[in-house]
Chain A
Amino acid sequence: MARNRKGAIAASMAAVALLVAACSGSGGSTDDPTDPTAAPGDGTSETSDAPAEQTITWWHNATGEPLVSFWAQVGQEFADANPGVTVDVQSFQNEELQRTLIPNALLSGDAPDLFQQWGAGELAAQVAAGHVKDISADVADEIAALGAVANPWQLDGKTYGLPYTFGISGFWYNTELFAQAGITSTPKTLDELYAAIDKLKTAGITPIAVGAGDGWPAAHYWYHFALKSCSPEVLQQAQAELVFDDPCFVKAGELLGEFIASEPFNEGYLATSAQQGAGSSAGLVATGKAAMELMGHWNPGVMGGILTEEAGEDVSPPEWLGWFNFPGIDGAAGDPNAVLGGGDGFSVHADAPPATVDLLKYILSDDVQARFAEAASSIPTAPGAADAVTDPNLQLVLEGLQNATYVQLWLDTAYGPTVGGAMNDAIVNFFGGSGTPQDIVDAIKASVETL
């Protein structure tokens, strides 16, 4: 018995020692000098010709094919061309990545070197906490080529990331259902849109699908009405100083109220998600159960993905898909050529190995950008790759972007997660029948107070 107990004591001690070792072993970052994967010259020199061992961890938000394979391939190509460099490419679901994984990784000190960046409000918080590298000097050529679409990734004249895709929001619609309802031309004004909605309803077709369950797809309607009601100066001031005193923001809610009152949306839209499966708003349009959806430029890719999942084989986006810009409103105060849009970009972590910036430059190269445009059915940011956009709808989107006199970033991204989230909530509540246009503005102001 006594001997047994001694053995047990020894075993317990060993277990405790292991536990302690395990605890103290975690939390090591890539800067750990004992970490064999860390580069010897980490963060010291930008132009190390000696093939130093570097591992670049790259987190992106693509979860559907072919984009996942495409990014993995780009990482491999870069590693092959740069001896000593390994690229660890990892893909995560967008909202998880944005709201949980990246903030936690930044806080824990074990952050990825190249990571998804949505820009503006969120970027500002990360920069203030010292997590993001200022790459202004390294990517001067790219910034010059990209032009205005790089703005959301800049802060006080410094660049903290670059977008690899940027597009604008508009109505994606089913040309066959429009023809069936007797709509001969796409709506150019709000009144024409109302007329189209009536015709679709008369034909027994659900006019618009909206994924209000996810919040932002519903909120985009308010953003568009704000864009039509507010001058670019007011919008710029709102973004820079978070001031919402101009009555045009209340006007946006009034216009939205009239729009909701015309009952254009799918049944149960408050619980509809935007992109997940055939029951989502994108799925409803893709499967011909609703005629249109107000959505970003990524929508053909999302619809193709949903149809592929449903069919179990590779299906391209529907051929009957058409696109038109959000219609103008007669007599509205906003810039009629203003557009609402956004993009996806990457930022370099402050402690990333030097080759990370080169990887970002490679991603932004005309060649990779052109292949990205094809792989993702999306819009690249590098002007040299614009010819790769062959889809007629995306050409329309690109044209809309090029003709715009003012480009407003998605308002929730522009104002950051706290204010943006409260704004989206208030707008969804308004969609759900509670609250007034003034309540939306009040909720935004109240959330600014909590920053």
Chain B
Amino acid sequence: MSSLTQAGPAVSAGPAPSPARKRRGSGRKWAEIGLFSGPAILVYIGFVFLPVALAAYYSFFNWNGLGPLERFIGFDNYTRVLTDPVFHTALRNNFFVVGASLLVQGPLAIGVALLLNRKMKGRGLVRLLIFIPYILSEVIAGVAFKLILQAPAGGSYGPFDTVLNAVGLGELRQLWLADQKVVMWTIFAILTWKYLGFAIIIMLAGLQGVPEELSEAAAIDGAGWWQTQRYITIPLLGPTIRVWAFLSIIGSLQLFDMVWIMTGGGPANSTHTMATYMVLFGLNRQQVGFGSAVAVILFIISLVIALLYQRFALRRDLEGSLTGREG
């Protein structure tokens, strides 16, 4: 069985530096590097590094975005952000989405992917249907759900409430988008509907890298379906799960479109995320310096989480955890 594991780890195949290349002239090497990565570095500096640096600079000013940068106020903008209860709500909402996505979407996606990985009738159709919400524009999905979840008015209910009532679940009716206790869950449910397809496709791709021989060997050893999944498939799916979790965390931290379209941060500022908070209180309220401070804080939080995750979770994959015994 150990010989099979060596043949299998297609998912974790890392690029090995080719020793032959090193013998070429180093000047030529640098010219090649400059030529091929130069345009990318220019774009990176122009559209990533420079905006971040400018935002950091603006964040020390009280600036409405129109006149000259004159009123230097030190860290006052940061103090204001960090003491604003609405920002606390936004931060809480971001981490709620991060946690709920990992705990709900992850297991759900793995489960569905395992089911779909078997040969069955209509598998292609089911995969397609599950992936469709991901293809839809977030704005279109947001507007559609806003209409579907409309609050009752003048004695008539919105489409979703009407359906609930028709199947005898009328008791469960809520003010889906207007009740401050319910609305974050509503948004999370829609995000799950939208992004589950993406998670499932990633997991299915990961499952392609799990060699069938292992399952066959396990079957010969007398393992049942559940045991095969539990002890062979899911551990080998680890790198895929960790990459998906990384994408999910970063996406959740930067969540903007769905919230902006569906609630605009309301009702009563209860559904803001850091990104919607930044746009509303920075741009729309003409406090560009303040908004820049929010942007810097969002950047630092995302950066720290990304680095920690790379350091503690993804590092194992980069080193090749599946072939760890040999390496």
Contacts and interface: CB of A to CB of B under 8 A. Distances in A.
Given A103-B286, A422-B285, A267 B153 contact: yes
B267 A271 contact: yes
A416 B65 CA distance: 14
A204 B155 CA distance: 9
Nearest to B269: A425
A23 interface: yes
B78 to A, nearest CB: 13
Interface in B249-297: 263-264, 266-269, 280-281, 283-287, 290
Contact of A289 (B64, B153, B268, B269): B153
A100 B64 CA distance: 12
B175 A267 contact: yes
Contacts of A416: 286
B175 A271 contact: yes
Interface string B47-65: 0000000000000001011
B191 interface: no
Contacts, number: 123
A51 B189 CA distance: 62
Contact of B284 (A209, A417, A431): A417
Interface residues of B, number: 43
Contacts of A189: none
A338 B205 CA distance: 68
A9 interface: yes
Interface in B220-244: none
Given A125-B66, A418-B286, A290 B153 contact: yes
B121 to A, nearest CB: 41
B83 to A, nearest CB: 11
Contacts of A100: 283-284
A346 B66 CA distance: 18
Given A421-B284, A422-B285, A428-B266, A267 B66 contact: no
B39 A272 contact: no
Contacts of B46: 23
Nearest to A290: B154
Contact of B42 (A19, A214, A288): A19
B108 interface: no
Interface stretch (A126-134, A224-232, A252-260, A351-359): A126-134
B205 to A, nearest CB: 31
Contacts of A403: none
Contacts of B199: none
Nearest to B266: A213
B47 to A, nearest CB: 11
Interface in B120-159: 146-147, 150-156, 158
B267 A270 contact: yes
Contacts of A266: 151, 153
A30 to B, nearest CB: 19
Nearest to A269: B178
Interface in A208-236: 209, 212-215
B180 interface: yes
B289 to A, nearest CB: 10
B267 A213 contact: yes
A432 B147 contact: no
Interface string A285-325: 00111100000000000000000000000000000000000
Contact of A429 (B147, B268, B287): B268
Contacts of B286: 103, 122, 125, 416-418
Task: Determine chain A's interface SS by DSSP, over half rule.
Answer: helix
B204 interface: no
B178 A268 contact: yes
Contacts of B68: 129
B173 to A, nearest CB: 11
A450 B281 CA distance: 12
Given A103-B286, A289-B156, A417-B285, A268 B35 contact: no
A266 B153 CA distance: 7
A139 interface: no
B151 A129 contact: no
A106 interface: yes
B38 interface: yes
B28 to A, nearest CB: 11
A428 B178 CA distance: 12
Given A15-B39, A288-B154, A450-B287, A268 B175 contact: yes
Contact of A128 (B62, B67, B267): B67
A53 to B, nearest CB: 30
Contacts of A131: 66
A188 interface: no
Candidate in A268, A289, A418 with the most chain B CB atoms within 10 angstroms: A268
Nearest to B149: A271
A267 B284 contact: no
A290 B46 CA distance: 53
B196 interface: no
A271 B183 contact: yes
Nearest to B174: A268
Contact of A267 (B152, B266, B269): B152
Nearest to A212: B267
B177 interface: yes
A206 interface: yes
Given A267-B175, A279-B150, 19 more contacts: A19-B42, A100-B284, A125-B286, A129-B68, A205-B154, A267-B152, A271-B175, A271-B177, A272-B151, A272-B178, A279-B151, A284-B154, A287-B154, A288-B154, A290-B153, A418-B64, A432-B267, A450-B80, A451-B62
The 10 closest A-B pairs by CB, nearest first: A289-B154, A268-B151, A270-B267, A268-B178, A432-B268, A271-B178, A129-B66, A129-B67, A271-B177, A99-B284
Interface of A: 9, 12, 15-16, 19, 23, 99-100, 103, 106-107, 122, 125-126, 128-129, 131, 204-206, 209, 212-215, 266-272, 277, 279, 284, 287-290, 416-418, 421-422, 425, 428-429, 431-432, 434, 450-451
Interface of B: 35-36, 38-39, 42, 46, 62, 64-68, 80, 146-147, 150-156, 158, 175, 177-180, 183, 263-264, 266-269, 280-281, 283-287, 290
